[in-house]
Amino acid sequence: MIKDKILVVEDDAGIRKFLQATLSANDYQVILASDGKTALSLASSHCPVCILLDLGLPDLDGNEIIRQLRLWTTIPIIVISARTTEDDKAEALDLGADDYLTKPFGTVELLARIRTAIRHTRTTAENQEISLNDSYTIGGLVVDFRKHRVLVDGRDVNLTPNEFRIVSLLAIHAGRVLTYKFMLHELWGPTASSDNKILRVHMANIRRKLEPNPDEPVYLHTETGVGYRMADHEDFLQNK
């Protein structure tokens, strides 16, 4: 099972330990940072599905971290902080944080906020179906976001974690062309190479696994020189 990765940025060892234990027990993979610089580098190298961010860190101010992350990513950021004024909260949200939890908070509330934040990123998709079912279905293809798998005609096509992330990204934006640059940034962060070769290699493997005929793809279309597009319902109406 491929687990959703969460980056926890917190300099208080006790809270860090609590978050790690709670999240691991709930099937998340946890990555830890105790200062801002480490947080920024781990965010770009791991591209987690959600970031829990303490605002009071030894090296960088939490708001500065939000600002820097938002230069390249829409990964949901949940601020966890003892600062409680509405101004603090508004500032963090204005800078692009998605939610705000005031310390101390309980496990149930924490998990609910994380699920909501993750679901929101998956519904910016304009795709109601994804928010309702946590999956995207087109023709015989099903992208199951909850179980992290892709089925074709009912059969699990066994994607690798990277292949699954590529297919998910395209499915979330189904019907829209995603540029190589956008995809490289979303998948591998700002330090990603601008070389499209890695994407092309992954796409060739993905197509072999899920297209009935990889030379004439029906699910994953190439926009030559631009990027890729996941088929949406309109493609299938036209084909019939």
Residues making contact with Ca ion (CB under 5 A): 11, 54, 56
Residue nearest to Ca ion (CB): 56
Q: Using the minimum distance from each CB to Ca ion, give the nearer residue, 80 or 167.
A: 80
Q: Using the minimum distance from each CB to Ca ion, give the nearer residue, 35 or 129.
A: 35
Q: How far is the CB of 12 from Ca ion (least distance, A)?
A: 5
Across 188-210, b (16+ Cβ under 10 Å) vs e yields: bbeebeeebeebeebbebbbebb
Whether the CB-CB separation of 77 and 51 falls below 8 Å is answered with yes
Q: Using the minimum distance from each CB to Ca ion, give the nearer residue, 34 or 196.
A: 34
Q: How far is the CB of 19 from Ca ion (least distance, A)?
A: 12
Q: How far is the CB of 81 from Ca ion (least distance, A)?
A: 8
Calpha distance 206→204 (Å, rounded): 5
Angle between helices 197-210 and 180-188 (to 10 degrees): 90
Calpha distance 50→14 (Å, rounded): 21
Q: How far is the CB of 109 from Ca ion (least distance, A)?
A: 19
Helices then strands, each counted (H, E), the chain: 10, 12
Tokens of 108: 């149930």
Q: How far is the CB of 11 from Ca ion (least distance, A)?
A: 5
Q: Using the minimum distance from each CB to Ca ion, give the nearer residue, 56 or 106.
A: 56
For residue 104, cis peptide bond before it (omega within 30 degrees of 0): yes
Q: How far is the CB of 54 from Ca ion (least distance, A)?
A: 4
Q: Using the minimum distance from each CB to Ca ion, give the nearer residue, 54 or 99.
A: 54
Q: Using the minimum distance from each CB to Ca ion, give the nearer residue, 11 or 134.
A: 11
Whether the CB-CB separation of 7 and 51 falls below 8 Å is answered with yes
Tokens of 157: 């096509």
